Structure 1
């Protein structure tokens, strides 16, 4: 396996196709990355800006330039010493019937279709038909919009195949005769009988555990790998697969061990299973550890108290993290994932009925309650075969049992837990339950934590990121060093990130917001100053003003307004995506106009000026740690320089790729250039066999410095919690012992250090230092 030096993520879309990526190559070559990391390139729904809604695995997307365009990009990149990494989507594809010809055939021929095995469809649950929740209203109200056109049924722009021999039937009979049931979109929540991606009915799950499905859906990707067009892979959402470990083993064999990282979100102290045949994760674990260094634990506690006073939210609706996350999980299970829960209930009921006297008397309601109470207590995204008994612990089972009013009925918890652990019998149904329990657990965690609780519990927005833990937002230098030592020893080829297409705020925005944890009183004073804006509620006001701080006080009404509406709908406290409260949303827009998007933004700009140096220290510190710690740094487009973006689609805006910018780089770009060029010049210092050694400062402000040495050749040192450092009097009397030798400052070639470096001198020009041994 050849490790990339550094990768650069490009968001391909019709407005930025392969030709545009090729035009950016001179800039990216000058930047110093070794590989382009491309978003999905297979055929997708026309106009898709992300490509995760694949419609045809056998073709490269025409809107991007087709296979010829991709190969031309690869050839041009190779001439500049740059390879390609592809993002692949094995878990799901588009459920748009008119664009997904495999699904079209299944709906035309039913279970007899050769493609029926591609999808997780519970035919029995739908009386032999697939529920298609595509109608704008109840069927009876939409009949006039349904028309028959030959062997096709049309509904607006949507079209559906007709079962053979049914085209001449009266409409009511024709609808009943199909292998599918057209239904009001609201029925998806409770009646859906195919596995989907999270709660998105427009994305249908794939059964890549089937060898023939794996072969068909990976043939083009593997061809590109064999032809040398592609050097490595990023695997999207492996937690959605029935058996991630087996899939990754098969992929590893098929690619002959090419560099592959997976979008596996690790929670808390969870570790990637050691037996998985991958180079590591896509890096959200690194993001959490880097960001945590810049969250002041004392200030976070003060912010929490101020947040509860300001918002007045209840403990389980944003006041405290654990009860908020638990309440969000219950909400998602009983609403958004009700269909998935019912599928598990049906399977468990069948198993119990066939299992003999010991399991036969567990009622569906008891199994449903047991499922719910166990799922909300899974502390990570999903259990795996190895170590599942730790995740689905006995203590969690005892807590779940306590919910039952009759002790004897609580035995249903043991049945569900044993089924999920694979301990209660064998057979296809048992294996199916185990896999679907794990898949549902993953969807639950993602939707309840990332897409709900993170928008309800908001004391410090900078820590509410994928893989983050708002209960433990701060990371000590010792914890960071332990994490880096683990990566260097066990996963030296893992990816590391600071910003991605899925982060809710770019690293620059988070760096500015993190400063609030260092001086909560300044934040409180700002809130008092802007209190005149008529916010629809205090919780939204808190989020809005922190968002404005993250943008440096820029009065960008449309961007802030869009982010706030998304936040409110995801939180689902006053308005939702499906039950929008027009009056509330109008109040949100009015508040943005008069508050953070209006004259009061001047107060935030003044605040930003007073905290600019601290935000700069956070931004440069996080960037340099990311670029020099163990692993392969993945830079999201534009983030090599100052780049402030909010949640998607804001973070998918086009960015400039001007080679002239490299000649006179700004502060952050200069740091990025220096680190990437050093990685390219000294690959052994950062590669698979490199070493990591923590360096610890001495003196009264030692905790404000994080430093380490890579392979005895490169030293990284950064400032943390600089605002508190300045309040305490600066670096006076604090020094950093350096390894033996003479060390040159890569960012200022006229400076050299030996022995113990005085930190006031080391950080005289920048709050970060990158040193290279020269003697």
Structure 2
């Protein structure tokens, strides 16, 4: 009898994100475990490392869920990494990708099987394929938009070639490899058959075998067969046929020459269009239809990850798909090598709450499943394992009945929350990956009172006014028209079929229904809703009603009853006479609709609007709302308070692999919000100076005023501290050029990925080359560098302040690789560059050595004098993480109390206390340093700077003072204006941030 009991999940203290690829492997990760432990990290948090497309630098294009990526390492190397983590008591968070797979690589055996066998493939249900799509010609086929030109041109250029390998036929197209459907082998093997029969006598055994193989092919079940017995027969017999054909090919010279010549004839002759008729006819009979990549936007009939045709969505809601896609990660969990999960893009799943519930259940079963009884070496019978699993499942549900919020395993979801949106209550996870925190903590370093001034500066510079919500609406519509029209058209046809079943709605036209879908999605205020039953919760209801209402307002000429019908379907407002089949169709439409709204939001806003609306680009971050010019201290405290109450183990990030720019770049750009007059003056001066470097690309001047505005902010944020030699400067300039090219294409205003305007892009690159030319007397660079240096010094304080806030706020702080010191990276792939861990290790050793030999004050003096070196950020990170690790209970379950300052600099500080029954820690971080310091070289210390500003302690406190962990200095409490607290001049005496521990 298995005893039911709770499993206490391992909760990380602090995580460190590692980007694994061929340049940074398991072995490399093992080599830095000791350093990360010394830094204060409790868990590594790795990018995906299952087998991905060859050369993948990110790992999200997985081709085999059962294998480790050989470019990252072997099982033995993975074991060595696990043992090293175990030695230091560290955990390992796995980045799980349940939503899609990479299909551009021939090593995706599941996808290759579908291409060969169609609906009769045993993996046909693994991918979200519409076998009965809108286009009749694609019935029972898959559109593959992989060709670089029109199909006919590619064929005539002999870029598609037939090949014969080990008994199988394939079509090759550069690195692509497509299997030929076995039932069409006779198209090749019967061609010129009479010639072969004349060559070989009728009684020839090889000829007899060849004809027998042809007969066997004719008896294969059809590729549209879906009966399980027929699928097994087809799978078995086709492989027998291939083996027989391979053997015959090797045994008979005549057969080999015959097949080789036929392959040659099918491949045609360049310049002779008719010579490709054979291959064209053969391709027409395959499961797939090869097409120009541009066709994907309108006709593709498999669901993709966003608009990326090389990533096909998987149907993980199906039990067999769930089991197969999680096989390896579950084994790693069972073996104790993986202690937590980060789930990638749950918004793309059919039913996220049910997925998370299934995931938690399996993690519970793995943990209590007999300590590895289900391993490969297990001798227990399948019946015994099944009984044990059933018993554990029963016990798990009994626990849930008593404790509905029980979560046995640490799981976080990559969920992008809209402003005021909350994590769905029925998700059994510990929180998000931290984009909500990025937006809030970054926002408190933006001077909100200057919003209108920045509106004026931006509008006047670009000579137009961009209204954020209007541009979001327009760009979401654009994405649905140019990148995801196929998905939208499919939804439209689905809704049309539903409308046809009701006499009150059957007169709605297909076009009007599709148009209504586009308009509602364009007005959707969040990424998606999570309706998965007839019951609709209040938040989801509000979002849908809001979107429909906005769509109606924007389309007064469209019959409003169409919008009411769509709303009824989305909210499951069934007519009273509906049967179960009708209800199921409505709900299925809603769940398919929900899978589309997220990608449209991501592509329309994150990957388009965030490169168009450039008022202050530090606000243009995943999870952010650029229309809100900063965040109030009250909002920051409010979010922290809520997290402390409900999501105290949610991740806290400031940089990730998906952020548009690193935390240090944003910290600098935020400074501009404090000095609008200076910023305006610089813009005017620089623009006039650089006007001569602009070139016309047709009717367009490159760069546009909007891109120029983006360019100057980017330079300010990304310019390195360290001096650059000619080689280093060229590398930096090329990084800026690559970023601006990407930004321009993402904006889709003057060029795009789909239709690159090469003339415009060349003019843009020419502009950057000229304005960044430092070999000549460049007046712009001279003036820019002086301003940038001032901004960067103020940005230092922003950066270390937000680092401290992240490490001490409720939640689990996450450090993105390399960001423990200055990192001025831009959007990927720039932020995935190799990290110099040798430098960081030596810097940490230097910190410890200086603190031991010279004393803490000498160390602080050195760090402040050389703060551009990055040692100061490493120091704050290390000391704060170590303090958090030593006081785990205080930060995990302790209270969060906002603290208020009063005095002349009361607006220049963010402060709060973390307290428990036995301990209290106070966090104080400065902001808006241009308002405090008269020039950047001045230090923010003492009474001359902080004047009468006083930090009140609202809780009962008998402490004599608080000791700053960064300096060892004690700030004494005192009474001021009938309140107990500490003067900021006593807190900030030698160091610009404070984490203070109560002393009695």
Shift of 1:610: 2.4
Q: How many residues align?
A: 768
**Deviates most, 292-301 or 197-206:** 292-301
> Matched residue of 1:276: which SS?
coil
Shift of 1:23: 1.1
- Aligned residue for 2:984? 759
Partners of 2:129 and 2:302 within 8 A in 1:
yes
Shift of 1:402: 4.4
> Which residue of 278, 295, 302 corresponds with 1:187?
295
* 1:448-597 equivalent positions in 2, closer than 5 A: 448-531=604-687, 532-533=689-690, 534-535=693-694, 536=702, 537-552=704-719, 556-596=732-772
* 1:256-405 equivalent positions in 2, closer than 5 A: 256=364, 257-313=408-464, 315=465, 319-353=466-500, 355-385=501-531, 386-387=537-538, 389-404=540-555
Shift of 1:334: 1.2
Partners of 2:525 and 2:547 within 8 A in 1:
no
> Matched residue of 1:149: which SS?
strand
User: Cα deviation per residue 1:284-335 (whole Å; 9 max; x = unaligned)?
Assistant: 001111001001112232122101101113x4xxx22111111111111111
Distance in 2 (CA, whole Å) between partners of 1:560 and 1:653 is 14
- Aligned residue for 2:323? 215
Distance in 1 (CA, whole Å) between partners of 2:584 and 2:325 is 23
> Matched residue of 1:663: which SS?
helix
- Aligned residue for 1:736? 951
Partners of 1:451 and 1:570 within 8 A in 2:
yes
Shift of 1:529: 3.3
**Deviates most, 652-661 or 199-208:** 652-661
Q: Indicate whether 1:717 and 2:898 are aligned.
A: no
> Matched residue of 1:64: which SS?
coil
Distance in 2 (CA, whole Å) between partners of 1:221 and 1:302 is 52
Q: Indicate whether 1:662 and 2:844 are aligned.
A: yes
Shift of 1:101: 0.8
Shift of 1:393: 4.0
Distance in 2 (CA, whole Å) between partners of 1:101 and 1:128 is 20
Partners of 2:448 and 2:632 within 8 A in 1:
no
Shift of 1:727: 6.2
> Matched residue of 1:59: which SS?
strand
Distance 1:682 1:403, change over 3 A: closer
> Matched residue of 1:414: which SS?
helix
Shift of 1:664: 2.9
User: Cα deviation per residue 1:370-389 (whole Å; 9 max; x = unaligned)?
Assistant: 10111111100001223454
Distance 1:576 1:277, change over 3 A: same
Partners of 1:734 and 1:759 within 8 A in 2:
yes
Shift of 1:172: 2.2
**Deviates most, 379-388 or 493-502:** 379-388
Distance in 2 (CA, whole Å) between partners of 1:398 and 1:679 is 48
- Aligned residue for 2:146? 134
Partners of 1:2 and 1:258 within 8 A in 2:
yes
Distance 1:395 1:252, change over 3 A: closer
Distance in 1 (CA, whole Å) between partners of 2:540 and 2:708 is 43
- Aligned residue for 1:146? 160
Cα RMSD for the two superposed structures: 1.7
> Matched residue of 2:608: which SS?
helix
Distance in 1 (CA, whole Å) between partners of 2:28 and 2:429 is 31
Partners of 1:530 and 1:595 within 8 A in 2:
no
Distance in 1 (CA, whole Å) between partners of 2:678 and 2:556 is 50
- Aligned residue for 2:175? 157
For normalisation by structure 2, the TM-score amounts to 0.75
User: Cα deviation per residue 1:601-654 (whole Å; 9 max; x = unaligned)?
Assistant: 332321133234421221111110011000000100011111111111110111
- Aligned residue for 2:99? 91
Partners of 2:43 and 2:93 within 8 A in 1:
yes
- Aligned residue for 1:652? 832
> Which residue of 333, 357, 366 corresponds with 1:249?
357
- Aligned residue for 2:885? 680
- Aligned residue for 1:224? 332
Shift of 1:528: 3.1
> Matched residue of 1:63: which SS?
coil
Distance 1:432 1:395, change over 3 A: closer
User: Cα deviation per residue 1:339-365 (whole Å; 9 max; x = unaligned)?
Assistant: 110010111111222x22122221101
> Matched residue of 2:326: which SS?
helix
Shift of 1:20: 0.7
Distance in 2 (CA, whole Å) between partners of 1:208 and 1:391 is 28
Partners of 2:737 and 2:765 within 8 A in 1:
yes
> Which residue of 45, 48, 60 corresponds with 1:40?
48
> Matched residue of 2:182: which SS?
coil
- Aligned residue for 2:185? 167
- Aligned residue for 2:600? 444
- Aligned residue for 1:773? 998
Shift of 1:26: 2.1
Distance in 2 (CA, whole Å) between partners of 1:432 and 1:621 is 48
> Which residue of 771, 785, 789 corresponds with 1:609?
789
Distance in 1 (CA, whole Å) between partners of 2:463 and 2:671 is 23
Partners of 1:743 and 1:752 within 8 A in 2:
yes
User: Cα deviation per residue 1:725-755 (whole Å; 9 max; x = unaligned)?
Assistant: 3469842111112444131110001334334
Gaps of 5+ in 1: none
Distance 1:202 1:694, change over 3 A: same
Distance in 1 (CA, whole Å) between partners of 2:569 and 2:105 is 35
